[in-house]
Amino acid sequence: MFHPAPGERMNPVQRKDWLLHWGLAALLVLLFQHTMSLSGSSFPSDAWLVVNLGLATSLTCLLMLPHTGSTLSLVFNSIASTGIFLLMLFTHDKGTIPNTILLQSTLAVFTTTLLLFSLAGFLKRFRATAEIALPTVFLLALITGSATLWLGPLVELFVFSDAAANAIIATSPLSYISAAAEYDYLRSEWFYRNTPFGSLSFAYPDSLLLGAIYLGLAAVLQTLTLRLNPDPR
């Protein structure tokens, strides 16, 4: 995201970029507010808060934190996202969260943010996607995060094996953070009513294994980003 210097005016392209990022951030706030009350009082609010806030923090940092493409910037932004996550979590009215869940959730936020920024940095190396890298990654994260919703009808129409259902669930960052928070969101009231997964035999991905995969993908993307020369504009 472009951050103008004091007294500096934005040109039309920079203004468009600024409006796009703040518009997506406003959309994210609305989504966060809506999803926090999806199933009313039957939601275990403490657990869902950890999950929802974790993904929202990673996406907000993607839109708002400056990223130069360097490895240092990548790591700094990911660490900053965990700090923001913990700060927001502790300012909410909640019960006691076990230290293990807190540590696992914080690690999930770190690796999710790391992967998102790595992918955005990689896309910025190409002329066709340089200007839309962050919005593209943001929307891709929303699509994969809601995979259990929009792939639900396919699961109902076709006979999916347990392995296929597990693979669909594992593609969602929401499932990753839920596994880290040890929260079975697919069997909560709203998701149970609106997706078929709650009635299936499935297993959430191991959060540490998925974290290692996210970390590995981020490392590969960052290595490619540093090795590739940017396309000439």
Domain range for 147 is 43-227
Q: How far apart (Å, rounded) are the C-alpha atoms in residues 215 and 211? A: 6
Q: Flag whether 190 is in a domain.
A: yes
Higher-scoring residue by pLDDT: 33, 153: 153
If you average pLDDT over residues 121-148, what whole number do you get? 87
Tokens of 163: 């392995």
pLDDT tops 60 at residue 40: no
Band (39; pLDDT cuts 50, 70, 90): very low
Q: Which of 64, 55, 58, 54 is nearest to 25 (CA)?
A: 64
Band (53; pLDDT cuts 50, 70, 90): confident
pLDDT tops 90 at residue 93: no
Q: Flag whether 175 is in a domain.
A: yes
Q: Flag whether 18 is in a domain.
A: no
pLDDT at 115: 96
pLDDT at 2: 46
Is the pTM higher than 0.95? The answer reads: no
Contact (Cβ atoms closer than 8 angstroms) between residue 183 and residue 48: yes
The amino acid at residue 38 is L
Tokens of 120: 């955005």
The domain tally of the chain equals 1
Q: Flag whether 105 is in a domain.
A: yes
If you average pLDDT over residues 216-225, what whole number do you get? 95
pLDDT at 94: 61
Q: How far apart (Å, rounded) are the C-alpha atoms in residues 36 and 49? A: 7
pLDDT at 8: 54
If you average pLDDT over residues 65-71, what whole number do you get? 82
Q: Flag whether 232 is in a domain.
A: no
Q: Flag whether 34 is in a domain.
A: no
Q: Flag whether 163 is in a domain.
A: yes
Q: Flag whether 212 is in a domain.
A: yes
pLDDT tens column, 199-211: 778 889 999 999 9
